[in-house]
Structure 1
Amino acid sequence: MFSPRRPTLTPNPCPSEPPPVPSRPLPRLLLAAALCLGAGTARADEPRPAPVSAPACVAPGLWADGEGKPLTAATPLRRIAEFPVILLGEQHDKPDHHRWQLHTLAGLHAHNPDLAIGLEMLPRRAQPALDRWVAGELDESAFLAASDWRAVWGFDPDFYLPILRFARMNRLPLVALNVERSLIARTARDGWAAIPPTEREGVGQPAAPSAAYRDRLTEALAAHPSKEQASKAEPDTASDAPAPPNPAAQRFIEAQTVWDRAMAERIADARRTSGRAVVAILGEGHITHRNGVPHQLADLGLPDSVVLLPWDAERECDALDGRIADVVFGLGPASDPAEPPRPRLGVQLEVSAEGVRIEQVLEGGVAAASGLQAGDRLIAAAGRPIRQPADLTALVQRQTPGTWLPLTIQRDGETKELVAKFPAE
C-alpha cells in the first residue's frame, strides 16, 4: 500500500510499451517517456504541421501522481480502495468532475464493496432523507424536497443524482457531512468562541490550521475583500510597527477551519461506526495540499486518507507541485460543447438573520458588471422576493443569453435597483 502523502505507485518514464494515449502530441510531463521511445526529425522539405493547442498536463484517461507523472499501473484504484478514507475533489459546477467521481466510485466499489459515501452537499439535518433514499422509500422529487436540496446547496441536483442512484442500487450508506451555512457565516462574523457549545451542531474544537493553509485563505480573502475588511486592512502609515492581525481575516480562517472540522468529524464517525471505507465527495478547496479536511482527519486519528482530483485539460501544469493531491486523473476537453453553459450570476451567498446576503462577487462575472458588491442584501429578483439562495438560483438558471434580470438590493440601509445583464451567445 502506498503512503497517503506520496503514492508509491511510481511513474514509469520508460515503459516496455508506450502508454495508451490519444493520437495527439504527448503532454510535456510525458517527455521522458517520449525520449525513451526515440523521436524522429522532420526533413526541411516536409510540410510543417499545423499549429496545435497546448497539450494537457495529464493525458486524458490516465492516472498520474501529484507531479503529473503517469503511474505504472493501468489503474491505481485497487490500492486506493484499501484506504480508510478516500477524498474525491470537485469544482461544483463542472459536469465532467461529477462523471469522473461516479466512474471512480464504481471502480473503487469493484475492489471494495464495503463503502460509505460522504456528501458535502447536505447538512447533518438531512441525514434522515439520505437514509430513506438509500432504503428506497423516496423517489427523486420527494428526496430533493425532504433534503431541502435546492435551499441548502443550490447546484443542479442532476450533477449528483447519478451518484445517489449508484449508492441506492448498491445499498451504500450516504452520510451528510456538512453543517448549516448559517453556522459558518456566524463564525466568520462573531468568532467560534462566541458561539455557545449547544449551538455548534455538535462540532468539536478544530485543530489549528497549518501556516500554508492560513496563507492560502488569507490570499483568497484579500482577493475579494468587503468594504469592512478593506477598511480594517488599511496600514497605519504613521507607525513603523507591524500591522496587527486583521480580525476579519482571522474569523474567516476560523470559519473555514470549523467547516473542515465538521466534515472531518462526520467522516471519522462513519468510518468508526460502520468499519467501511468512506469515500467523501467535496470541493477541492477543502482537501488540496492535504490542508483542510485531511489535516482535521489526522487530528482525529485518521492520518491515512488519500486525496484524488480530476485534472482538466486546460488546467495549469505548474499547479502539479507534487503536493496538491496524491493522485490525479486526466480529463479531456470539456464535454457537451453544443450545450450552452448554464447562466451564472457570479456571486457567493450566505444566509443571515437579515436575509440573503452577498458574501463574495466573482471578478469578471455578470454580478460584478451589474455593480453588485459584497455585503449587499438581496431583496427581490424580477419582482420576486429572495428569501433563500435557491430562490435566486432558480431565477438565474431560467435566464436565456442576452436577457436582463432586475435586482432589488439593500446597501448601507438604502434600497437600490440594479440590472444583471447576461451576455448573448
Structure 2
Amino acid sequence: MRIPFVATALACLLFAGCAPRPVPNEVVDRAAGAEVVFLGESHDNPTHHARQAGLAGALKPRAVVWEMLTAENAAQITPDLIADRAALESALDWEQRGWPDFAMYYPIFRASSAARHYGAELPREQARRAREAGIAVAFGGEAREYGLDRALPRAEQGAREALQQAAHCNALPERMLAPMVGIQRLRDAMLALAALQALRETGGPVVVITGNGHARNDWGAPAHIARVAPEVRVFSLGQTEAGQTEDGQGAGRYEADVDADAPARDDPCEAFRSMNPAPTSVATPAAAQ
C-alpha cells in the first residue's frame, strides 16, 4: 500500500515548540490496532522524523525502542531529562556516536515523553564478537528461536548482499558482504528482542524508531517477531523518498509506505571514489539500514 504524502518538515524540526507534522489518517488508524509499531526512516530525512513524531503523539506508546540507543543510554531517559533538550542530547552522547542531527529526533522524544524508553543499538564489543564467533554466539541463548543459528536461503542472502553493495556505492570487496549481512540480521533480532521485552514490561503499545531496512516485514525485525511471537500484532511503516524505484532506499514489504521529498545531500559515493576510481552507482549508505 502506498500513500502519497510529500511535505517539508525541516522548519518544524529546528524548533522544539512546533507541532509534529500530521500523518495520513489511514496510517494512524491502522497503526493504532497494533501492539508493536515499526516506524521506518531514512536517517537523514527530516520529514520522516516529523512523521514519526506525529505518529508517536497520536499513538501515545507506553514504550519506545530506539535503534540509535544502547540499553544503557535509554535507561537514563526520564520526562525531566526530555524536557531539557541540551541535557538529553548530552546524556545520550548523541553527536559523538555518529547519528544525524539531534534536532530531527528530539520531537519524537517530546511526543513520547511519558513512555518508557529502550535501546537496541549493537554495542561495539558485541559486534566484534559477532565477527569473530558468529552472530548466534553474539546474540546468546535465544539465537535458535530467532533463526540466527542457520544460514539464510541462497536467494535472500544474495539479495541482501546486493543491497549492501549498492548502499555502499558498489565499492565493497566481496568478502565483506556476507559479514555485513550477518550484522544486519543481528541488529534486526536485537530490535525484535527489545520490542518484545518492552511489550512484556509495559503492556504496549510499543513504537520502534529504526531504519527502513530493519522495519521490513519480509526479513527485518517484524519477521523475527512473527517467528518467535506470532500472536503479537505488528504494524510496519516504510518511508521512501519521491522518485525512488522499488530497488531504492525504502524497498521492502510494509503494511504501508509513504513518500517524502529527499533532503539535499552531498554525493555519498564521493568518498568511495577517492579511494577507488572505478565507476560506482549513486546510493546512500542509509539504504542498508
User: What TM-score results when the alignment is normalised by the length of structure 2?
Assistant: 0.73
**1:89–1:283: 8 Å Cα contact kept in structure 2?**
yes
Whichever residue aligns with residue 227 of structure 2, its letter is D
Count of matched residue pairs: 253
Which of the numbers 267, 291, 294 marks the counterpart of 2:219?
291
Q: Residues of 2 paired with 1:145 and 1:176: CA distance? A: 16
Shift of the 188–268 alpha-carbon distance from structure 1 to 2, 3 Å rule, reads same
Which of the numbers 108, 118, 127 marks the counterpart of 2:59?
108
| Cα distance, 1:152 vs structure 2 | 2.7
| Stretches (4+) displaced over 6 A | none
| RMSD of Structure 2 on Structure 1 (CA) | 3.5
State yes or no: 1:95 paired with 2:33: no
The 3-state SS of whatever aligns with 1:90 is coil
State yes or no: 1:83 paired with 2:11: no
The 3-state SS of whatever aligns with 1:204 is coil
| Cα distance, 1:305 vs structure 2 | 1.1
Which structure dedicates a bigger proportion of its chain to helix? 2
Q: Residues of 2 paired with 1:154 and 1:323: CA distance? A: 23
Q: Residues of 1 paired with 2:160 and 2:4: CA distance? A: 30
Tell me what 2:233 maps to. Answer: 304
**1:189–1:251: 8 Å Cα contact kept in structure 2?**
no
Deviations 1:350-391 (A, max 9, x none): xxxxxxxxxxxxxx32x1233279xxxxxxxxxxxxxxxxxx
Q: Residues of 2 paired with 1:322 and 1:159: CA distance? A: 23
Shift of the 312–137 alpha-carbon distance from structure 1 to 2, 3 Å rule, reads closer
State yes or no: 1:327 paired with 2:256: yes
Alignment of 1:148-187 (within 5 A): 148-168=93-113, 171-187=114-130
State yes or no: 1:273 paired with 2:201: yes
Tell me what 1:50 maps to. Answer: none
The 3-state SS of whatever aligns with 2:189 is helix
Deviations 1:118-156 (A, max 9, x none): 1111111212222x3x24487222222222222334311
| Cα distance, 1:59 vs structure 2 | 3.0
The 3-state SS of whatever aligns with 1:174 is strand
The 3-state SS of whatever aligns with 1:60 is coil
Whichever residue aligns with residue 306 of structure 1, its letter is F
The 3-state SS of whatever aligns with 1:91 is coil
Tell me what 1:121 maps to. Answer: 68
Whichever residue aligns with residue 125 of structure 1, its letter is E
Q: Residues of 1 paired with 2:67 and 2:134: CA distance? A: 22
State yes or no: 1:219 paired with 2:157: no
**1:124–1:179: 8 Å Cα contact kept in structure 2?**
no
Task: Identify which of structures 1 and 2 has the higher relative contact order when contacts are C-alpha pairs closer than 8 Å and 6+ apart.
Answer: 2
Which structure dedicates a bigger proportion of its chain to strand? 1
Unaligned ranges ≥5, structure 1: 1-6, 8-56, 63-72, 233-247, 336-340, 347-363, 374-425
Deviations 1:294-332 (A, max 9, x none): 11112331453111122332222687x99621112243x
Whichever residue aligns with residue 107 of structure 2, its letter is P
The 3-state SS of whatever aligns with 1:122 is coil
**1:129–1:143: 8 Å Cα contact kept in structure 2?**
no
Shift of the 151–136 alpha-carbon distance from structure 1 to 2, 3 Å rule, reads closer
State yes or no: 1:207 paired with 2:147: yes
Q: Residues of 2 paired with 1:146 and 1:178: CA distance? A: 16
Whichever residue aligns with residue 71 of structure 2, its letter is R
**2:127–2:183: 8 Å Cα contact kept in structure 1?**
yes
**2:171–2:272: 8 Å Cα contact kept in structure 1?**
no
The 3-state SS of whatever aligns with 1:280 is strand
**1:116–1:175: 8 Å Cα contact kept in structure 2?**
yes
Q: Residues of 1 paired with 2:213 and 2:30: CA distance? A: 24
| Cα distance, 1:261 vs structure 2 | 1.1
| Cα distance, 1:60 vs structure 2 | 2.6
User: What TM-score results when the alignment is normalised by the length of structure 1?
Assistant: 0.51
| Cα distance, 1:193 vs structure 2 | 5.6
Whichever residue aligns with residue 93 of structure 2, its letter is D
Whichever residue aligns with residue 65 of structure 2, its letter is G
Tell me what 2:10 maps to. Answer: none
Whichever residue aligns with residue 139 of structure 1, its letter is D
Unaligned ranges ≥5, structure 2: 8-23, 278-289
**1:58–1:311: 8 Å Cα contact kept in structure 2?**
no
Q: Residues of 2 paired with 1:137 and 1:83: CA distance? A: 26
